[in-house]
Chains A and B, each alone.
Chain A
Amino acid sequence: MKHLSDQELMSIVQAGDFAPASEIYDRYSSRIYNFAYRFLKNSEAAEDATQEVFVKMLKHAGQFHGGAKLSTWLFSITANWCRDYLRKAENRSKDGEDVLITLPAPAELSPERHLERREDEQRIQKALTLLSPDQREAILLSRYQGLSYAEIAQISGCSEGAVKTRVFRAMEVLKKALTGDARGGDRCLTAIP
């Protein structure tokens, strides 16, 4: 199966044979999980997202069109799931429930290196939480998934211009948070209402 293209695998799924499920999962689960984790900062939610995205992929395989990239379609499902999760989490918070924020199990590193890496990771994750969900979605898809603005626009359901603005504004916030550099930031932000 691993030599088949995404389109060929999806053709099999669309014909009602779910045998390629495992292969498709192996190809994309890491990207989906990491995107969801960075978006939600919650490993349990990221696990649920990953599982449900692939289940939805199988259930709604008929909606996938061969002309599109499978990755774009999967990220669309994932982004929708994450946005939905945040909306529900917000409602839960209003009801007084805490949103569980958990970190994945640490890798086997020396204590010093582990501490250093954990601090870096927390600093970046904290900076990402400063972004609006739209900005976070755009920067995660651009920086970590290497998607073009056209693909991000398709996933986020907005124009390429909107993606450009979201990434730019996200970078302004992250620059300030991660490098302490606010040069020109206010000026640029006021230039884009």
Chain B
Amino acid sequence: MPDCDSMRENMPLLLTESLDPARRELTHQHIETCPMCVAEWSAYKETWSILDTLPELDVPARVKQRFLAEVSPAVTPNVVPFRRRSAPRWLAQAAAAVIIAGGAFYGGHRMTPRVELTPTPATLVNVQPAPFYSIAESRVLPAASISPQIEGRPDIQNVQFTDASPSNDQIGVSFDITSHVTVTGRPTDKSMVRLLRYVLENEDKQSPSRSRAIDWVRSTYAHVGNPDPEITEALANVLRNDDNQGVRIKAADTLRSLQSTMTDGTRDALVEALKNDPNPAVRLKAVEALAKLARSGGNMDPDMVDTLRKKASQGDENVYVRVKAAEALSSIQPK
């Protein structure tokens, strides 16, 4: 029989799910048959869970200011010749400002809009006021309306050239470009809600970026009495669909903190995560959110209660998930 000490050394690796399959199996088998190690494993998980409650701190804005000030001569945007970039992934020059003077010149047609912002109550900063502003649009601009000075490092892609027609001497250069837009408004403004929903569901498809978006949504809406249900629905979609377990954990945890607008859809997403998510930490966050819902007398359905019941008694489930499921069941008031 393997000795307890070597098994206990493996426990932190079990917690981070980084033990190789053979040793994971061996360690689990040992824990199941050793009363001392069962207690030890339980204490390890409890400690690990307590550590999770240490909040993430925001970096004071002054730190970035100081950093950029220290290196400012080097980061001052360069004026570069207007030329097509050779690298294929020169994307999203967020800070680059391609000065397209006189936005009102634009005509043409809109491409298929993905998110449209209505002009009120959100406002646009540093952009010519326009009665309608779409962040997915196509413009046709006369060359005379464009500053000859191309500033920053404009990111252009999909460049196409239109030859001069026999009837005139006009040529055309079309390209896709990403410009930097700041939308300001209250967290409750529908335009803002819709934009955040889009960001949560589509942002880059890259988890670190989406993770930051979730953090920001969480801190923003923590102080809003009843966040728009679209926010929680977007988080529910992230919980259902994101490949990254860390992002799913954050989505579930944020849903727990935004309980006041829990819809049937978001509750169902938590129940699905509790049932099917392969990561125990995600299931744990999901059951914690459901437990909070149960305690608050929120909207429950038979499937949720049934799932909690099954989880509370499921022998091979994570101990903490089982305990939380049992707690949630005990909180449910008979109607």
Contacts and interface: CB of A to CB of B under 8 A. Distances in A.
A124 B91 contact: no
B58 interface: yes
A58 B75 CA distance: 11
A110 B89 CA distance: 46
Contact of A38 (B54, B62, B208): B54
Contacts of B209: 2
A147 to B, nearest CB: 9
Interface residues of B, number: 54
Interface string B87-110: 101111111000000000000000
A144 to B, nearest CB: 8
B184 interface: no
Contacts of B66: 51
A1 B16 contact: no
A30 B56 contact: yes
Contact of A27 (B18, B40, B89, B208): B208
Nearest to B87: A8
Contact of A191 (B5, B13, B40, B44): B5
Contact of B39 (A43, A183, A191): A183
B57 A4 contact: no
B92 A117 contact: no
B243 interface: no
A58 B64 CA distance: 14
A84 interface: no
Contact of B55 (A5, A33, A117, A167): A117
A64 interface: no
A174 B95 CA distance: 44
B57 A187 contact: no
Interface in A115-152: 117, 120-121, 124-125, 142-144, 146, 148-149
A108 interface: yes
Contact of A19 (B8, B12, B18, B77): B77
B4 A184 contact: yes
Interface string A39-78: 0000100010011001100100000000000000000000
Given A58-B74, A121-B54, A183 B59 contact: no
A5 B87 CA distance: 13
Nearest to B246: A146
B36 interface: yes
A14 interface: no
B78 interface: yes
B285 interface: no
Nearest to B18: A148
B70 interface: yes
Contacts of A143: 48, 51
B60 interface: yes
A171 B67 contact: no
A164 interface: yes
A90 interface: no
A130 to B, nearest CB: 13
Task: Name the residue among A19, A165, A183, A187 with the largest chain B CB count within 10 angstroms.
Answer: A19
Contacts of A117: 55
A2 B94 contact: yes
Interface of A: 1-5, 8, 17-19, 21-22, 25, 27, 29-30, 33-34, 37-38, 43, 47, 50-51, 54-55, 58, 104, 107-108, 117, 120-121, 124-125, 142-144, 146, 148-149, 164-165, 167-168, 171, 174-175, 178-179, 181, 183-184, 187-188, 191-192
7 contacts: A21-B75, A51-B70, A142-B12, A144-B51, A164-B9, A179-B50, A188-B9
Given A47-B59, A55-B71, A124-B50, 8 more contacts: A2-B94, A21-B68, A37-B57, A58-B74, A164-B9, A171-B12, A179-B47, A188-B4
